[in-house]
Amino acid sequence: MNHKDHVFLLNKIKPKGIWADFGSGWGAFSLALRDLGGEEIVIYSIDKNESSLNEQKINFKNKFLSSKIFFIKDDFTKPISLPKLDGILMANSLHYVKEQTEFLKFIKRYLKPNGIISIVEYNTDISNIWLPYPLSYNKFLSLANSNYINSELLASLPQEFGGEIYCARSFAIN
Distances (CA, A) of 161 to 24, 31, 64, 158, 164: 22, 24, 31, 9, 9
Q: Are strands 148-158 and 111-122 parallel, antiparallel or unpaired?
A: unpaired
Q: What predicted TM-score, i.e. pTM, was given to this entire model?
A: 0.96
- Answer positive or negative: Cα dihedral of 11, 16, 21, 25: positive
Instruction: Give the pLDDT score at 73.
Output: 98
Domain ranges within the chain, ordered by starting residue = 1-66+89-118+131-155
CB 100 within 8 A of CB 127: no
Alpha carbons 66 and 20: distance in angstroms, whole number: 18
User: Using CB atoms within 10 A of its CB, is residue 138 exposed (0-12), middle (13-18) or buried (19+)?
Assistant: exposed
- Answer positive or negative: Cα dihedral of 34, 48, 71, 147: positive
For the domain made up of 1-66+89-118+131-155, give the CATH fold: Rossmann fold (3.40.50)
N-terminal to C-terminal alpha carbon distance within the chain: 35
Q: pLDDT means per 10 residues in the chain (174 residues)?
A: 96 97 97 97 98 96 94 97 98 96 96 96 94 96 92 94 92 86
Instruction: Give the pLDDT score at 51.
Output: 97
Instruction: Give the pLDDT score at 146.
Output: 82
Instruction: Give the pLDDT score at 145.
Output: 87
